[in-house]
Structure 1
Amino acid sequence: MTAAGLLALAAALFVMSATPGPAIMAVLARGMAHGLRPTLVFGLGIVAGDLCYLGFAMGGLGVVARELGWLFAVIRWAGAAYLVWMGLCCLLRPPARPVAVSAAPCRSRNFLSGLALTLGNPKVIGFYCGFLPAFVDLSALTPTDGLLAACVVGVVVYAVVVAYAWLAAGGRRLFSSGRAWRNANRTAGAVMIGAGAAVAAE
């Protein structure tokens, strides 16, 4: 894979990842509701989902992924339901600053949430199984090319997630009063519910 091809892949990924959609809405909502660290773990799940679809595309399984529409519909609906549930939790949370919970289950839950959201996101499926093969000859990729492509995917997608998470968490730190926290929780809850509705509608 040439340097020009890697740059083209990076540019396409950046546009796809940075364009507001369910994943970005979920990152913003989590950053506002839970802070930077849990959102970064959530972002790792998003990256893992992207890498799964990149592997499907490079392995010639894009057609299989498209044909298993019912499976991805189930994943999408489960992810949408989870986002709505998290949004309701934010809406009903007391105005006090949230108390940290056990790190291990929180990390695994955040990671799996990001993974499920990406696996059920039609935009991601369309990019890797439809758009990507149109400008990258996946059949001619060597193992080294595949590794380079995976590195580009990981770096670009996670950089976009980190940027949005940092902005959301920075806004979260501006709140100091109980009323401000209540308003922040309500905003985050509404965004999460909106993201869940967007995932279900796509």
Structure 2
Amino acid sequence: MLYAAGLFALFLTPGPVWVALMARTLSGGFGAAWPLAAGVVVGDVLWPLLAILGVGWLVSVYGAVLSVLKWVASLVFIVMGAAILRHRDADLASDSRLTQPGRWSGFVAGLAVILGNPKAILFYAGMLPGFFEIGALSAWDIAAICALSAAVPLVGNLVLAASVGRARRLLASPRAVRRTNTGAALLLIGVGVAIPFL
């Protein structure tokens, strides 16, 4: 229960995942946001698993991979933001490949943002051992921790996307569409620019 509360507190702390999720929801609705949330789940399972297994050599190797992933994530968000900005007058509901880059693109964006999210890395690598006696965990314990690590943020991310999606429906005028698309594009570009410095 304490660990679940810690995960919920982590979710409530705004970070790159929140910004990316809100930007995708504003530009493409809930349908564009849930694949990002699914991509985040992979990292939310991977980080605690790495923390529990304590594979030192993997973490040291992963540091270089993490650096590359930060730049990939940065590029993905900047390109997505630029694409939305170019077509900011398009209807929010239109099925444009630029404003709704697809499920796979959303999934990869979610994976990139969680793997390069220092907040998640610090929580799982630094705080997780404080919740559990790592050496005494069984395979079932590890599975339960990974499931909880995936479920709490996933539910939070889906609720956030659904809430932003409902607000998005209120923005039907062309002027509101332009402002919303511009805001979503600037959020995506902002995340892309910020990621390498986090």
TM-score (norm 2): 0.90
Match in the other structure for 2:3: 9
2-structure distance, mates of 1:101, 1:70: 35
> Where do residues 25-40 of structure 1 align in structure 2 (5 Å cutoff)?
25-40=19-34
1:164 and 2:136 correspond: no
Q: Deviations over 1:85-133 (max 9, x none)?
A: 111111111413153268xx82122111111111111111111111111
Q: Deviations over 1:144-182 (max 9, x none)?
A: 111211221122010110122112211211111222111
Q: Which of 131, 141, 146 does residue 142 from structure 2 map onto?
A: 146
1-structure distance, mates of 2:188, 2:83: 10
Q: Contact 1:22 / 1:196 at 8 angstroms: preserved in 2?
A: no
> Where do residues 3-82 of structure 1 align in structure 2 (5 Å cutoff)?
7-61=1-55, 64-65=58-59, 68-82=62-76
Q: Contact 1:80 / 1:200 at 8 angstroms: preserved in 2?
A: yes
| Counterpart residue type for residue 152 of structure 1 | L
Match in the other structure for 2:115: 119
Provide closer, same or farther for how the CA distance between residues 53 and 96 of structure 1 changes in structure 2, counting only shifts above 3 A: same
Match in the other structure for 2:193: 197
2-structure distance, mates of 1:31, 1:138: 38
- For these two proteins, the number of residue pairs brought into alignment is 194
**Which shows bigger deviation, 56-65 or 172-181?**
56-65
**How far did 1:58 drift?**
2.0
2-structure distance, mates of 1:88, 1:155: 32
Q: Which of 163, 174, 189 does residue 178 from structure 1 map onto?
A: 174
Q: Contact 2:44 / 2:146 at 8 angstroms: preserved in 1?
A: no
Identity among equivalent pairs (%) = 32
Runs of 5+ unmatched residues, structure 1: 1-6
Q: Contact 2:73 / 2:113 at 8 angstroms: preserved in 1?
A: yes
Q: Which of 88, 95, 101 does residue 100 from structure 1 map onto?
A: 95
Provide closer, same or farther for how the CA distance between residues 66 and 174 of structure 1 changes in structure 2, counting only shifts above 3 A: farther
2-structure distance, mates of 1:157, 1:66: 26
TM-score (norm 1): 0.88
**How far did 1:68 drift?**
3.4
1-structure distance, mates of 2:85, 2:109: 19
Match in the other structure for 1:3: none
2-structure distance, mates of 1:78, 1:175: 32
Provide closer, same or farther for how the CA distance between residues 101 and 95 of structure 1 changes in structure 2, counting only shifts above 3 A: closer
1-structure distance, mates of 2:191, 2:64: 21
Runs of 5+ unmatched residues, structure 2: none
1:188 and 2:194 correspond: no
**How far did 1:51 drift?**
0.4
